[in-house]
């Protein structure tokens, strides 16, 4: 075990971690991100509960592996959530021991609430409301109450609702038109779109849903595959476990779904992270620079450029803005009739201090602090001159 893993068995490490966590809890950012992560996982769990569980569709996720184990052992929605929590807990322990601090508290939180979230959806609005109907059969009810498996004429088991009613299956899945009329592709598309949006949302806040991400990291570290290949391998291994409960066609669909899931995540992530790289050449460059820094709250860079045709030297302002900030800057330039040559392009990957955003409040606070400091300096200078004045008068006397 390396030094990184050994730190988790020292009291000093956990004491320091506790102090950092308590300090973070006192900030508004902590509670804001906690709410947003919970809100995002609410939709991710809905994708699993309404589209993955009823159709027995196995995509390369920990939820898919949990469905295989749960179905093979004859479990229900409650036991499914226990499998999700158990597998995620085991993988998180492996991640901390084998990888170190790669995964933080955010990943632990999002991974561990997926199971309870599926139970929440099961209690709020069970998927059986879409796939089953209530029938009145006293003999079947008695057998179900004795925990016996009773099959309907189509070979599907009767279910017992939480209110004690007998449920008969009438649809293959939520998106199916009826028994024998289901098209698993509709479930796959709905699941991928909803879950991928949730994952991209979590990634944006420096979190993840855990599970497959942990497996991919372990494969990446010890087998030295790149991270993209690691995700594919991990997802494919999970999909192959579906042979236990599904036929070859369903397994292939799951593999295709895993591939599509990665593509959609990339699309959402790039779309959410897109920024505008803006280059402006203008005689009023200082006015533009001031507006970017003071009003928008972003930084910028200044370059001296020389026109290839006129050989005139000017200043170019370069900055990175969000789409809304870019529109705000363009409006300012139009309203004030600023003559400028402007180009803008999309930038999807940004590393460095740009991510530290100074809000207008921060700019106002810094400005007031500077004004107070200037006032205090002038007051001290005035008091010094006044003291010197009276000393000169007394000296003459």
User: What is the value of pTM for the model shown?
Assistant: 0.63
Q: Is the pLDDT of residue 361 over 60?
A: no
User: Running DSSP on this structure, what letter comes out for residue 7?
Assistant: G
Q: Give CB contacts under 8 A, 24+ apart, made by 231-238.
A: 231/262, 232/258, 232/259, 232/262, 234/60, 235/59, 235/60, 235/61, 235/261, 235/262, 236/60, 237/60, 238/58, 238/60, 238/61, 238/62, 238/64, 238/65, 238/212
Q: Which tokens go with 205? A: 């806040």
347 forms beta bridges with 275
Q: What is the pLDDT of residues 294-338, one digit of tens each?
A: 888 888 899 999 888 888 889 999 999 888 889 999 999 999 999
Residue 316 confidence (pLDDT): 93
Average pLDDT of the chain is: 77
Q: Is the pLDDT of residue 172 over 60?
A: yes
Tokens 């045709």 belong to 309
- For the chain, the structural domain boundaries read 3-127+177-272, 130-173, 274-355
Gap between the Cα atoms of 216 and 163, Å rounded: 42
157 forms beta bridges with 151
| Domain 274-355 top-level CATH class | alpha beta
Which residues are within 8 A (CB) of 348 and not within 5 positions of it... i.e. 6 or more apart? 270, 273, 274, 275
Degrees to nearest 5, angle at CA 205 with 204 and 207: 100
**How many residues in the chain?**
397
Q: What is the distance, to the nearest Å, from the Cα of residue 85 to the centroid of all Cα atoms in its chain? A: 19
Do 11 and 159 touch, CB atoms closer than 8 A? no
Gap between the Cα atoms of 59 and 348, Å rounded: 28
Q: Is the pLDDT of residue 1 over 50?
A: no
């Amino acid at each position: 075990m390396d030094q990184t893993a050994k730190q988790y068995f020292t009291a000093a490490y956990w004491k320091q971690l506790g102090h950092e966590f308590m300090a973070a809890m006192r900030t508004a950012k902590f509670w804001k991100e906690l709410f947003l992560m919970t809100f995002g996982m609410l939709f991710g769990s809905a994708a699993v509960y309404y589209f993955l569980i009823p159709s027995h569709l196995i995509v390369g996720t920990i939820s898919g592996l949990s469905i295989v184990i749960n179905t093979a052992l004859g479990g229900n929605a409650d036991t499914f959530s226990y499998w999700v929590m158990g597998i995620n807990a085991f993988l998180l322990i492996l991640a901390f021991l084998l990888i170190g601090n790669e995964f933080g508290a955010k990943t632990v939180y999002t991974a561990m609430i997926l199971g309870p979230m599926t139970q929440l959806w099961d209690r709020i609005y069970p998927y059986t409301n879409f796939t089953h109907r209530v029938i009145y059969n006293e003999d079947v009810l008695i057998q179900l109450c004795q925990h016996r498996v009773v099959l309907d004429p189509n070979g599907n088991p009767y279910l017992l609702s939480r209110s004690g009613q007998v449920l008969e299956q009438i649809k293959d899945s939520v998106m199916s038109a009826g028994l024998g009329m289901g098209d698993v592709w509709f479930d796959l598309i709905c699941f991928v779109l909803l879950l991928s949006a949730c994952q991209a949302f979590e990634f944006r806040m420096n979190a993840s849903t855990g599970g497959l991400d942990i497996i991919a990291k372990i494969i990446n570290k010890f087998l030295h595959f790149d991270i993209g290949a690691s995700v594919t391998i991990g997802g494919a291994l999970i999909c192959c476990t579906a042979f236990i409960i599904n036929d070859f066609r369903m397994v292939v669909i799951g593999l295709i779904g895993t591939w599509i899931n990665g593509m959609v995540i990339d699309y959402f992530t790039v779309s959410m992270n897109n920024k505008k790289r803006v280059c402006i050449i203008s005689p009023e460059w200082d006015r533009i620079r001031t507006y970017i820094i003071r009003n928008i709250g972003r930084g910028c860079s200044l370059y001296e450029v020389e026109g290839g045709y006129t050989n005139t030297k000017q200043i170019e302002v370069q900055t990175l803005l969000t789409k809304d900030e870019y529109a705000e800057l363009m409006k300012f330039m139009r309203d004030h009739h600023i003559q400028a040559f402007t180009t803008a392009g999309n930038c999807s990957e940004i590393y460095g201090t740009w991510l530290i955003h100074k809000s207008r409040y921060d700019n106002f606070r810094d400005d007031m602090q500077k004004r107070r400091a200037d006032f205090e300096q002038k007051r001290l200078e005035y008091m010094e001159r006044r003291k010197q004045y009276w000393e000169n008068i007394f000296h003459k006397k």
